[in-house]
Copies of this chain bind each other. A is one copy, B any other.
Amino acid sequence: MTAARKRITQQDIARMTGVSQATVSLVLNGRGDADVRIAPETRERVLAAIRSTGYVADPIARRLADRHNRILGVFTYEPVFPAGSGDFYQPFLLGIEESAEQLGCDLLLLTSAPVTDGRRRIFHEDNRLRLADGCILLGRSLDRDELTRLVAEGQAFVSVGRRDDAGGPVPHVGADYVTATAAVVARAVAAGHRELCYLGDGGETSRSSGGTGGSVPESFADRFAGYREAAARHGLAPRWEKASGRTPAEVLDALVADGVTAVLVEEFADGVALAAVARERGLDLPGDLSMLALGDPTRPAPTDIDFSGYRIPRREMGRQATEVLTALIAGEVSRSDARRLLPCEPVAGVTLTAPNTRRNG
């Protein structure tokens, strides 16, 4: 019945202990060192009252008066708790949560952001981003305009996943896809492959030659860049095929026609589909076609195949993103220094072997 019990304020604590609101504030912030002094006895009295009432500073008022509230915003372009279990985002969030717990921060899930055109928008009428000290951004591809605005406004934020500059350096903790993908190429070559193919959208970057131009997400572009560099180093052509908008059968046809012996798969799910079709046709996997997964499944893709390739250090990325963000908030690092790339973990798997010789002759 008690309709919306009034919140306890510093004023209440002050009245209780017979001091002023200012004193309560000073005690709370442990200000006894500088030009302000509080008698130990008074301090104890105030602290006791705070403990007994369970008083907590209103983060909003605290923020207004321009202090920090130890709240970290988490903005995702998709719902955080999706139906499909074993989900792609889970490990990131796990890392974020672990780190936040360690740092004594609470996480504010910005669920109030309305969905327009199938995705959430950071900026809207009642933008509550600034409620938090800073913000972690999660999502395959972030809206470039929103990113630019965040940078321009000087917001404290970190992207999980590398991002190109957007009117300034974009703080991020990403995976080093370039190095990881190049390493995969080297492994394929070492196994005897000469006819490689990159399967995915990353190849689009090879057309729109500029770095920042295309609409290809950075993660795809980076994979392809690693592939292209390594291919060049090994004297191979940077062959690639698009996966989206085609059936796995069509893709397989193209690969076979080209005499490809090893395919690097950008999207795990595409690899699963491709493998299924290849098996149906009676191909020998991995003898006739080695497959290399460039990261973990981002879409549910049930399979019992242990793909060779590498794993994205998702949990660690979440963890470090949180750390970078707090450092950024504390002013301990600059925007441009708040960019990290973490190594991916190689996975041996069973889908990479030497190519069958009959195919080579």
- Whether the Cβ atoms of A128 and B54 lie closer than 8 Å is no
Q: List the B side residues contacting A58 at CB < 8 Å.
A: 64, 130-131
A251 at the interface (CB under 8 A from B): no
Most B C-beta atoms less than 10 A away, residue of A51, A90, A93, A130: A130
A277 at the interface (CB under 8 A from B): no
Bound CA–CA A115/B81 (angstroms): 23
Which segment, of A97-105, A182-190, A351-359, faces chain B?
A: A97-105
Tell me whether chain A's interface is mostly helix, strand or loop, or mixed: loop
- Whether the Cβ atoms of A130 and B85 lie closer than 8 Å is no
One digit per residue, 1 when the CB lies within 8 angstroms of any chain B CB and 0 when it does not, for chain A 126-147 equals 1111110000000000000000
A106 and B112 contact, Cβ closer than 8 Å, known pairs A59-B126, A64-B60: yes
A112 and B105 contact, Cβ closer than 8 Å, known pairs A56-B129, A97-B80: yes
Bound CA–CA A131/B55 (angstroms): 10
One digit per residue, 1 when the CB lies within 8 angstroms of any chain B CB and 0 when it does not, for chain A 94-132 equals 101110110011111111101100000001011111110
CB distance from A1 to the nearest CB of B (A): 5
- Whether the Cβ atoms of B93 and A128 lie closer than 8 Å is no
Bound CA–CA A138/B80 (angstroms): 17
A14 at the interface (CB under 8 A from B): no
Which segment, of A211-219, A221-229, A305-313, A327-335, faces chain B?
A: A327-335
Q: List the B side residues contacting A168 at CB < 8 Å.
A: 1
Which segment, of A3-11, A170-178, A196-204, A268-276, faces chain B?
A: A3-11
Q: Please provide the chain A residues from 255 to 291 with a CB less than 8 Å away from any CB of chain B in the complex.
A: none
Bound CA–CA A4/B54 (angstroms): 34
- Whether the Cβ atoms of A131 and B60 lie closer than 8 Å is yes
The residue from B1, B112, B125, B130 contacting A60, defined by CB atoms under 8 A apart? B130
A61 at the interface (CB under 8 A from B): yes
Bound CA–CA A74/B297 (angstroms): 29
- Whether the Cβ atoms of B112 and A104 lie closer than 8 Å is yes
The residue from B1, B3, B94 contacting A81, defined by CB atoms under 8 A apart? B94
Bound CA–CA A60/B101 (angstroms): 21
CB distance from A64 to the nearest CB of B (A): 5
Whose C-beta in chain B lies nearest to the C-beta of A53? B153
Q: List the B side residues contacting A123 at CB < 8 Å.
A: 54, 56
A82 at the interface (CB under 8 A from B): yes
Most B C-beta atoms less than 10 A away, residue of A94, A104, A112: A112
Known: A4-B329, A80-B97. 14 other contacts (CB 8 A): A4-B156, A5-B155, A71-B108, A71-B131, A79-B94, A81-B93, A81-B96, A85-B86, A97-B109, A97-B111, A101-B111, A101-B115, A106-B111, A106-B131
User: Can you pick out 12 interface pairs between chain A and chain B where the beta carbons lie within 8 Å of each other?
Assistant: A4-B331, A5-B152, A5-B155, A51-B125, A58-B131, A59-B128, A60-B64, A81-B96, A85-B90, A105-B111, A106-B108, A108-B109
